[in-house]
Amino acid sequence: MIKIIYGLIVSALMALLISCGSDNISSERVPNGVFNGVLAGEDTVVLVWDNTAHVLATDDSQMEINFTVSRLSSTGNNSDVTTRHVTGHGRKYDSNNDTFSEVTISGSFTHTDMNTTFELTITDANNSEDKLFLLTSSTSNDSASFALLDGTYLIRDIGGLMVIDDTGIVSGSDNNDCEYEGDVEIPDPNINIYQVFMTVRNCALNGHYTGLGTLDQSIDTFMFSMINTERLLQYNLQR
């Protein structure tokens, strides 16, 4: 009986230690928000939520990145400045050829009370490298709400209209006869990030998509990127 009780105690302790270790690892996250930067010499906007990033870039450099973060470590003698090393993998989409290619990510970010900076290297299957440098956008901490997002938007570059109502429901169509139906959710009202869930019908882009968006109130523009297994689409909506 004593051996049985001892064995149960040891098993319970091991389960507790494993559980605690898993929580510590899973709690490591890159900062959520909106980041401005440069990718391969071109200006870009990157949207991050829950260790997933959408890179809004040129037609052949759009990407979704999934990060893995190392444990927290202080930089120098300043405990308010921290650096995390990151790795990850991603899918780079070439809209000209309608194809994905796999990429790997390595680098780090430095976080302070004021902002976050990223220095990343993106490597493709041919070992070609691009550098991605990012800094927290001035719009990242703007409030997110359906009241702010509510409106009728012109779909720039394609033409057509998209409507987002005051509950986050999305509908619309573009000049390529694509029809849009979906909704937008707000994961944190204190961060200018919106989650996008969209179905596209009646055109070559048919499918269900998920993505991330951000609202620039100063110029009444809602930008978002959404992805499925076949393609990655990005939109610039003007209200």
Residue 226's CATH number: 2.40.128
Beta-ladder partners of 35: 46, 136
Global pTM reads 0.84
Sequence-distant (6+) residues with CB within 8 A of 123 are 103, 104, 105, 106, 129
- pLDDT-based confidence at 96, cuts 50/70/90? confident
> Which percentage of the chain shows pLDDT scores above 90?
73
The last residue of a domain, from among 114, 136, 158: 136
The last residue of a domain, from among 113, 136, 159: 136
Number of domain units in the chain: 2
Domain range enclosing 79: 33-136
The last residue of a domain, from among 136, 165, 197: 136
Residues 164 and 118 in one domain: no
DSSP string computed for 125-172: TT--EEEEEEEE-TTTTS---HHHH-EEEEETTT-EEEEE-TT-EEEE
In a domain, 19, yes or no: no
- Determine which of 17-21, 61-65, 134-138 has the lowest per-residue pLDDT on average: 17-21
- pLDDT-based confidence at 78, cuts 50/70/90? low
Residues 123 and 174 in one domain: no
Residues 103 and 150 in one domain: no
Residues 128 and 37 in one domain: yes
Strands 33-39 and 42-49: what pairing?
A: antiparallel
**72 in Cβ contact with 86 (< 8 Å):** no
> For residue 186, which amino acid is it?
I
